[in-house]
Structure 1
Amino acid sequence: MKTMMIKPLVIAVGLTMSVMANAQSSQEVEQLRQEVQQLKALVHQYAQQNQTVQANLNQLANTAVQPPVAQKASTEKRGLGMTLGNAEFNLYGNVRMDGSYQVEGSSRDLPYNHINAVALEGNNESSDRLRSTLSATRLGLDFKSPVGDQDVKGKIEVDFLGGSNFDNLRIRHAYLNYGNWLIGQTWSNFAVPDYMPETVDALAYAGGAVKRTPQVRYTAKFSPQTNLVVAAEDPKDNSITQRLPALTARLNHQFADNMSVSARAMGHEKRINSDEEMAWGVGLGAKYDVTPSTTLKADYYHVKGDSSFVSFANKGVAVTNLDDKGVITATSAIAAQSEFDSITVGLTQKFNEKLRGTLGYGYMKFDDDQDYINALSNKSAANKDLWQAWANIFYSPRKPLSFGLEYVYGERKAYGPVLDEDDQPVSGRTGEDNRINMVAIYNF
């Protein structure tokens, strides 16, 4: 561009010198002066064009050296979010259809686990039956609102597994969380589902616990890896009266990025009239990521005198002096307490983003306390041991959709056979659970 500017100047100077040397008349000089003025205007025009071009080159150079702006990763949030005033809400849920084909098992008209009461061999057995329901369909609302320098958080979640027929609306979760405190109903602090292997069955299997209780809970954080949670809970034990809440404690620790453990304890007074006994229990759960796509889970319980926390347990206490309908009277008393050990263990393999599967096993062993057994009016209703094994696979072709297929086989062994009116056995002591479970879920 500098060359383009100098060239007109040289031409102009040359012409001027030529005019001075060869001018013959004033008319010619005036004409030459006009030409010089035109050349000056041309030079000025070239100068302006040069400035514009230089500015464009500088802009291109600056754009070239700037790094590309990184695009943020997609953070797709489940549900429908909204803000009203200072409060944030997120509506979520699913439509869930469960089904099962029962080869052998209970006459119960639901496709969910009932291992503690499946029919004993030779008595009201039910086979080759197809069952389905949408009762496990859920609807939930998470919310958050600032109060002072912290947020009050909460959840309301319902499904349709309430009532005696499991087809009524019921509360699953309803609580408020402020700082380290939680008030409301959510998973029990003692019977947590975190360490149970995954199942298609919405009620889990022998040795597992899916208990939600009204509670007041406090969490003390010792470090980012360790915390202690204590709670006063209402276990909703319908088999006995109570005057005090159950006290529970849970110590959680993260050993590494791929391993976590939980140690738990529970104490609860059982009371009939003036007769009192203390129920108690301990639990230990662990989760270990063997590889990023392989997870091992295990959970253990030892419980005495309680049937409200761990699923499928015998009644926590045997009661004497009941009336003809088995109702507690003014002279009723606690005869003995049930005691049991339970364990679940399972391995989950994630094959890819769409496919995963689990192999699991659950076992419950009840003590042979003769005082407890003798106090039972129906010994076939109480179990000596329970076990179940299962294998499942989940397939998610697209993110909102998930399909599951599972085979489960289990057995129960009762303390006694089913007796007729003359106390003669009409069946054995063993019952069988043999099913294929299916589920289809649409999450939103």
Structure 2
Amino acid sequence: MNAKTLTQSFNFQSTTVRPTMQRTLMMSMIALSMGGMSVAAQAQTQQQTEIEQLRQEVQALRGLIEQQKVQNAQTASAIANVQRSSASPSPILKTAKGAEFNLYGNVRLDASYQVEGSSRDLPYNHINAVALEGNNESSDRLRSTLSATRLGLDFKSPVGDRDVKGKIEVDFLGGSNFDNLRIRHAYLNYGNWLIGQTWSNFAIPDYMPETIDALAFVGGAVKRTPQVRHTTKFSPQTNLVVAAEDPKDATISQRLPALTARLNHQFADNLNVSVRAMGHEKRVNSEEEMAWGVGVGVKYEVIPGTTLKADYYHVKGDSSFVSFTNRGVVAQANGDLIQSEFDSIMVGITQKFSDKIHGTLGYGYMSFDENQSYTNILKNSFPKDSTQSDATRANKELWQGWANIFYSPRKPLSFGLEYVYGERTALEAVNGSKTGEDNRINAVAIYNF
């Protein structure tokens, strides 16, 4: 085949193939275009679906937020109501001169059933004077009183750059029959100084195990005295309190106040210790002797909810600070003074069973040194209209043990039940008996306000 023939053949094939290729290419482009349009349509549809789902989720979230707002408002209202109902202390009031004060107190009903013993018509403890066996005991008898009902006022007023703070508190346990209004506390605090009447700096109740009896049990003290007191703080854990006190000792002619000192120290969060000392001149006619005493108190939280308390005293020549003692000093015929001397201890453990229930188990003991000269003076002394000498009224030993339980169903209310048994041994016998017993059941109901 010659060149011309090849050329013509090639041209013929090219002419024949080109339209076919063009058609194929065009169809491919159309197919690609249609596929792209389909993918775009699918993508648009999917996007619209996602947008709709997102819109629904936003609506649901808005609903949850609104619901949470309502719940928060209800919770805040409930908390506010609880805070208002449990607010303490009560709203502060003001006097016309701008002093702020809070009023508080309680209504208290005490009842005591004397199983055996006693010689006085009292619902409170008098272990040092219970009848000796076979000598007119007052057994199987119920007594009740509201004399321990209390009313108090705390106040403060700015003076310079400090506040003067104070307290006035009264109850109805005054007089020989414990049915007259009396001052419990009445004092002012300014800085480190206290002036007025409050708990003695020597015989304090802080380390006494809890009792229902308003006068406490043997080994303890509930003494309040007029005093001038100063507190020195050495550290947050240690302070020294010194005071000049009027112990109101009716058995002497007083010309000087008693001097007392108390060192308090906190060894740990659960251990507090107090060491105390007292000195006081005892003057009868022109003769005088120095009375003195020391005391140690301990409070120890053994484990959370279990607390141990103990209080010890050794005193010579004084009967005005610690409760239930013999006469501190007596005069002989020649004028010389003889002093009584004693040791006492009170110990107890308190267990908290729940927020509403707690109880205490306690024991108290007091022992007087034997001094025949002291006893002889009392044997020859007879109170007016009495056939018994003072020696039968004074004691060689006293002891009491008790167990109680307190129940507080609601915050203002408290109820207690207590059993106590104790004995006294007199210096001299009456009708052949030196021993008297105190066997009682105590109950109390208190409403605090």
- Give yes or no for TM over 0.5: yes
Rounded to whole Å, the distance in 2 between the matches of 1:417 and 1:359 is 32
Aligned-pair identity in percent equals 77
Residue 351 of structure 1 is matched in structure 2 by 353
User: Structure 2 residue aligned with 1:244, among 227, 246, 256?
Assistant: 256
1:181 aligns with 2:183: no
- Residue 227 of structure 1 aligns to which amino acid in structure 2? N
Residue 114 of structure 1 is matched in structure 2 by 126
CA displacement at 1:296 relative to structure 2: 0.2
Residue 38 of structure 1 is matched in structure 2 by none
Larger radius of gyration: 2
- Residue 124 of structure 2 aligns to which amino acid in structure 1? Y
**Bigger fraction of residues in helix:** 2
Residue 376 of structure 2 is matched in structure 1 by 374
Q: Do the aligned partners of residues 109 and 79 (structure 1) sit closer, same or farther apart at CA in structure 2, a change above 3 Å counting? A: farther
1:439 aligns with 2:415: no
Deviation string, structure 1 residues 372-424 (Cα, Å, up to 9, x no partner): 11111221111000000000000000110000000000000001112xxxxxx
CA displacement at 1:79 relative to structure 2: 4.5
Rounded to whole Å, the distance in 2 between the matches of 1:104 and 1:336 is 35
1:341 aligns with 2:343: yes
Verify the 8 A CA contact 1:123 1:427 in the aligned structure 2: no
Residue 133 of structure 1 is matched in structure 2 by 145
CA displacement at 1:357 relative to structure 2: 0.3
- Residue 229 of structure 2 aligns to which amino acid in structure 1? R
User: Structure 1 residue aligned with 2:94, among 83, 87, 99?
Assistant: 83
Instruction: Give structure 1 stretches of 5+ with no counterpart.
Output: 1-52, 322-331, 419-425
Residue 4 of structure 1 is matched in structure 2 by none
CA displacement at 1:292 relative to structure 2: 1.6
Verify the 8 A CA contact 2:119 2:129 in the aligned structure 1: no
Q: 1:295-444 maps to which residues of 2 (within 5 A)? A: 295-321=307-333, 333-376=335-378, 377=381, 378=389, 379-418=391-430, 426-444=431-449
Q: SS in structure 1 opposite 2:308?
A: strand
Single out whichever of 338-347 and 68-77 deviates more from structure 2: 68-77
Verify the 8 A CA contact 1:100 1:435 in the aligned structure 2: yes
Verify the 8 A CA contact 1:79 1:93 in the aligned structure 2: no
Residue 5 of structure 1 is matched in structure 2 by none
Deviation string, structure 1 residues 99-137 (Cα, Å, up to 9, x no partner): 000011212111100000000111111110000000000
Verify the 8 A CA contact 2:219 2:322 in the aligned structure 1: yes
User: Structure 2 residue aligned with 1:233, among 245, 248, 254?
Assistant: 245
CA displacement at 1:82 relative to structure 2: 1.2
CA displacement at 1:319 relative to structure 2: 2.2
CA RMSD of aligned residues (A): 2.2
Verify the 8 A CA contact 2:289 2:337 in the aligned structure 1: no
- Residue 393 of structure 2 aligns to which amino acid in structure 1? A
TM (normalized to structure 2)? 0.79
CA displacement at 1:164 relative to structure 2: 1.3
CA displacement at 1:76 relative to structure 2: 2.5
Deviation string, structure 1 residues 243-298 (Cα, Å, up to 9, x no partner): 00000000000111111010000000000121010000000000001112010000
Deviation string, structure 1 residues 322-362 (Cα, Å, up to 9, x no partner): xxxxxxxxxx7343100000000000000011000000000
- Residue 205 of structure 2 aligns to which amino acid in structure 1? P
Rounded to whole Å, the distance in 2 between the matches of 1:437 and 1:334 is 44
Verify the 8 A CA contact 1:335 1:371 in the aligned structure 2: no
Rounded to whole Å, the distance in 2 between the matches of 1:267 and 1:191 is 13
Verify the 8 A CA contact 1:252 1:260 in the aligned structure 2: yes
- Residue 351 of structure 2 aligns to which amino acid in structure 1? Q
CA displacement at 1:80 relative to structure 2: 5.2
Rounded to whole Å, the distance in 2 between the matches of 1:150 and 1:81 is 19
Verify the 8 A CA contact 2:400 2:421 in the aligned structure 1: yes
Q: SS in structure 2 opposite 1:373?
A: helix
- Residue 138 of structure 2 aligns to which amino acid in structure 1? S
TM (normalized to structure 1)? 0.79
- Residue 320 of structure 2 aligns to which amino acid in structure 1? S
Verify the 8 A CA contact 1:317 1:334 in the aligned structure 2: no
Residue 166 of structure 2 is matched in structure 1 by 154
